[in-house]
Homo-oligomer: A and B are copies of this chain.
Amino acid sequence: MSVNGVIAAYIHVRVMLEGRMPARQTSRPRARQTPKARSYHHGDLRRVLIDAALQLAAEGAEVSVREAARRAAVSPGAPFRHFPNRDALMAAVAGEAQRRFRAEIEGAMGEAPVADPLGRFRAFGLAYLRWAMRNPAHFEIISTGRYFAHGSSAELTRDNAELIALTERILAEAAEQGLLRPADLKRIQIAGRALVYGFARMNLDGHFPRWGVEEGEIERMAEGVIDLFIAGIAKP
């Protein structure tokens, strides 16, 4: 094993152990021709940290700053150059997850007929639940507010308000077209949201086994629950 090999192995071990990438370049202090080669500065560490944290969450692992740093092959203190604390990182992660959530829902809404408010309402609920059940860790992060202070992610707040406004418009249309039994619209809106949120969280929090609902039945049950609710608010 050459001297460089030994050094490389040493670096590898350190990377395995702690994820640190020593500043030492094996040769040529300035490798101009390969700007992609990891240099002392990372490139876009902020972005990479968010992605690493998202992936950690998706794997069901606990999101720790150090682990994200390890995956970015960077020292444990480096993330704090981009986020004042762990919560700020989580807020950024939540912002990204919420963006995807909103995109998914709005995509599904685009396929529902504009002229059918209750159909759109149903599509909203279904898209909401499908995403929540297929991205449980991300849904947890954006909904719980346990990982960072409320409102510390402007993106999350904005996208959330947008989704609330969307259901508000849909229900208003349904009411205008005389599709609803008489009831306070805000109450319907909140009840509907509580229903899907509660269903998503029952899944997330592992309640369904004790309700005797098998894994494969959950999506069908979600549909049934939404339909039950809509039948309850719709004019007979």
Query: Which of B184, B205, B210, B231 interacts with A232 by CB under 8 Å?
Result: B231
Q: List the B side residues contacting A231 at CB < 8 Å.
A: 181, 183, 232
Interface status of A233 (Cβ within 8 A of chain B): yes
Q: List the B side residues contacting A164 at CB < 8 Å.
A: 210-211
Number of interface residues of A (CB under 8 A): 42
Q: List the B side residues contacting A194 at CB < 8 Å.
A: 194-196, 198-199, 202, 225
Q: List the B side residues contacting A145 at CB < 8 Å.
A: 205-206
Q: List the B side residues contacting A233 at CB < 8 Å.
A: 228, 232
Complex Cα spacing A144 to B144, Å = 11
Complex Cα spacing A52 to B126, Å = 42
Interface status of A22 (Cβ within 8 A of chain B): no
Q: List the B side residues contacting A232 at CB < 8 Å.
A: 228-229, 231-233
Residues facing B in A150-173 (CB within 8 A) are 150, 157, 160-161, 164
Interface status of A236 (Cβ within 8 A of chain B): yes
